[in-house]
Chain A
Amino acid sequence: MRIKSFLSLLVSFSMLVPTGAGAVEGLSGTLTPKLSLFDYTGGGKAERAHFLQRYDYAKSWFGQNISGAYMDLDLSLAYSGLTGHSFLLERRGEGLSDQSGLFRYDSDYVGVSGMYGHHRSVAVGVDYLLRPNNVPGGTDASYTGTGSGYVATFNDDSDGAFFRVDRTNYGAEVKVKPALLGDMASLSVKHDGYRRTGNSYATWTAGGSDFTIGAPQSHRWRGYNRPIEETMNRGSIGFAASPMGWFQFAYDGSVEKFVSRAQNFTMAYAASRPSVLAAGATMTAGNRIKPVHFVPDSTLTTHALRLSRTFKNSAWAAGYGMSVLGQDSFTPVQITGAYGEGKIASKNLFLSGKARVLPALETEGYIKYGNRRNDSTFPAGTFLTATTDQKLDLRLNDLKTVEYGLSAALRPAGSRSSLGAGWKRENKKRGFTYNNSAGGTGILPKRMLYTEESVSDEVSVKGVLRPTEGLDIRLTPSYQWSDKLGSPLDSKESVNLKADASYMTDGGTVFAAYYALKDKRNDSLSFTNANTPTGADGSQTPQTTRNVLNSAGASMSVACTPKVNSSLSADWMQNDFQYAYITSNRRRYAATPAGGIVFRRRDGSRSIIDTTTLGLATDWQAADSLKVSGSYSLSRSKGNVATGLLATELGSTNDGAVDNDTHSLSFGAEYGMTSALTLSGQYSFDHYQDNRNAFLSGSGHAVTTALAYKF
């Protein structure tokens, strides 16, 4: 690596010779060739993915991701003419796997812009490292259930693939400015999209009868190399006008086409795996065509219309939007089942108004309406029906949401402080189709914690105090309660508080602090037993949840001396979640009068996870032409995922707790060689320590040198 890196360095410097592009009036820019060297140790498998690279993948010239070097060029060119024409071209690159660029041309009449970005993520490769047969307790060889073997044997079909996803975004837009349209309107036409390619690790489980003979249970649970080959292209048009300045009007419409070229993956692949063939397990033709994680092609069409009008003491805004998402490709099972349409239609509407009823008092009111409707084919053949066992659990036919609220804010004349109070109400209505199969099975509302209606109210106070120059204090407490709960994700009652303050001294030192609390409780949803042999309602098992989210932080940014600027920040976040661990003697939809169902609260469980972050940074102008900087950051997450019985069971795995630290340290220097040339260098060191999944622990070093040529 090192020898090749020296070669890279030479090539890099060869690009630094000024090109003769002297300064032109109105033209300015910076060319910054860079050379980066990196080296990672530990933290996953070298041929696959390193944990520290999961979102920030470095790719060497030599095709390696663990150690190597790459050269790149940052570019910024700007031209500004006195006649109103301006042009900007920028590029940022961190090797082949991470780069972006944009261009923009503006005149008084039109604006033209474009962008691209390319980013590689290997987070999906980290998933692979955590596959069930690769971590302690991930599978259960002692599981001897007759009729099921879901968590006994896991079959890895990925054959050592390298998992990564490359995403390339692109877009271009032309805007016609008001100066060309009578100073009344503007028009924009835009095209954007992306291409996403690569592969990820995915798991699936076949049905109980999908494999036959040859120890079928042991073949059902599988993981495979899932191909990804997707494109999205979207065309948009926007028109805005302000006729005679009476009101503002805007229309936005788009058509978006999503295509997945890696969708035709079916269970058939598993039937031909060597281990399956060797065991003599087979799969019927009907099962072979079952899709695995099918991603359909789809088209989304949207229209949005907005109006607003501002008067001397009031303002109004209204909008209507609708979208239709249609499915463009179908699986063999869907085609056989005459599932000819996949369609989700949405409508949204809002009306907002605010008025200054007194010089110091502003009031506001709003209403929002939303309707999501599932217009897909239903029922469809034998695979999607409410009258057959295990062919539908619950169908959400439509979701209607109405939200409205009122608020008032007091802003005394001449004061920069304000005090406001508000109330809002939200009502959600869900239209369900429940399975009610001929055999008497099927899920009933009383066996679920998901209901047809949610109704909640919230009152809040918002205070903004600016008692003296430089001091800002914000305080926002609120209380929310529900008359009807839709699911445990709602809250029966919730107490929230957000408080933050900042103070800037005359010398420019900034102190800031914040605290936030969200305490959410829910204790009014229950599972209801079905007694045998009558099927009458039996006792109830309530789900009681409480989620307390705390976060607090403080930061300081200070000029220690005229030449030294430092900042310090510390944050703490705690997620405390309590819930009940509930099981049932049979599947909820399988309860019949003869069979009944009994829910049982096994135990209560609590998860508390704390995350602490710390950041330190300093810049030192050591000399007129030399600036030195350094920074350190720490992120530490630690806590348990469960307590009691669940903690005991999870104790045999790596997943009962979270315990990890990420340290990042960097030093850098910038040296102004001439007024046009700046040489910079930076060394950074990252270390991830995972005390639960030790194989993810590792370190990364990177050195980057750059020479910026300004003109």
Chain B
Amino acid sequence: MARIKLERISMRFGDFYAVRDISLDINNGEYVTILGPSGCGKTTLIKVISGIWRPTEGKVYVDGMDVTDIPMEDRDVGYVFQNIALFPHMSLKENVAYSPRVKDQGDEAMESLSTEYLELVGMLARAGMFPDELSGGEQQKVAIARALASGSKMLMLDEPLSALDARVRVELRYELRRLVKKLGITVLHVTHDQEEAMSVSDRIVLMRYGAIAEVGTPLEIYRRPKSVFAANFIGETNLLECTVSDKSKNGKTKLKLRGGEEIRASKTDFKVGDPVVISVRPEHVYTATDGLEAEVTAVVFMGTYWRVRTTAASRDFVEYNVSSDDEVPSIGDRVHLVFNKKAIVVFERPRGGIEGEIKLE
């Protein structure tokens, strides 16, 4: 059992707030990723939860108990570091047996726990080796086993995969999810890789400037982001400035692009004349015989599909995908673009403009 509750957590360094006023509930056995650009305070947050840092304000509860003042060695939180931090002078077995050893649980517990968890991550055959004899991915598996062998019911992963090769990274993340789900452990996984966050988590906490920008399941945030920032940071999207030009009785909205071209969206709460921004993902843009006129500026092969980049008559940059088996236009061709009405998300136009809103730092 490990339910985590954060209550108005702030962490201040001098005058700088690394994390400001964060409240969050995490359920037992939930896999939550904390996603955000670098410097947004995501690592600070898990360091506060694991007791490595004491928050300047706010409280941390685990299973209803206030643990804010409990030092990290008594917190029972597994922590996996970005730089792995396996003890270089100990064998893999000694590394994994470290927690039972320092808790003085006896030789038997050290033996059985280290065997069990090395087995679980598939590294038992190499128990006698030293960390520097392993590849990065293997080292990180052992580090995870070491954290789990502490018997902890929650695991903090601080960018655990970012130091690894692309291939290993992808394999290990599924392995990681399978493992912790099997053990029923609550996981907080910090990452700046949105693809990684999408593919492993039950829920994503999107952070920015030390605060939570948005919380939701990967699908919710991808399909219905609540801010221009989230729409842009998670997945790829086209952002176009528009004005609401007309609304039908049932709320269906018509929008006018900067060049005056009109497009249809589904129901919104905006009024006629409101300045808005729409987000439409490349996979929801199609070519047709009629629609927004655009000139092709680049065609890029992405591996499984083509990405076509265009400049529309409205002076917006619009990208769309073409299946790798299909014909692609050449640079300079004129095309007509239409958007999947249901997939268009409409936002209030941010005061600082789109650029300011999607800036990462």
Q: Do A and B bind each other?
A: no
Q: Which residues of B contact A (CB under 8 A)?
A: none
Q: Which residues of A contact B (CB under 8 A)?
A: none
